[in-house]
Amino acid sequence: MEESLWLFGIGISLFIIVLFFSSYFDARKHVERKRTKSNEDEILEDLLSFKEKRIKEYVERGDYTFIVKGISYRTEEEINRIRNLNADDELALEYEFNNPFDNDAIKVVAIKENVHVGYVPSISCKEVKRMLELASNYIVKVHVKTDGQKAPFILARIEFNNSVEK
């Protein structure tokens, strides 16, 4: 009987020790997770800060160049009108909030030909919108146009005046 009480006491002691260490390690994991989350937040803040700095540098430098995407999806009539564009022809940028594929879409329109040319690449739309917010004045032009078999290739350039609004 004494022996079973002694074993029971050891069992209880071991249980308490295991319980203590498991809660200790759970607490350490929680602190580590919190620390990791904090580091992730810091990294995200650094990335956003870097991105904002890069956007301001484009505006201050005076230009940003991008490939116009989606030209090959235009109708044959539109593509023929796009082929009439030349370097330095003016383009307009229009926000397309109701675009079913991208709420941040920015449509590129040729002013001279009054034709929808394509889009700012979706990966750049948020940055381009921010650049346009920062710039007090800008103009968009065809920078380079080459004729491809199916559709032309257009490199567009946004030219900013050199004042940046904060």
* Structure tokens that stand for 158 in this block: 């946004």
- Only one residue has tokens 């007090």, namely 136
Q: What number is the average pLDDT over the span 23-30?
A: 58
63 forms beta bridges with: 159
- The model's pLDDT over 109-121, given as tens digits with 9 standing for 90+, comes to 999 989 999 999 9
Q: Which residues of 126-165 are buried (b: 16+ CB within 10 A; e: fewer)?
A: ebbbbbbebbeebebbbbebeeeeebbebebbbebeeebe
- The model's pLDDT over 66-116, given as tens digits with 9 standing for 90+, comes to 999 999 999 999 999 999 999 999 999 999 999 999 999 999 999 998 999
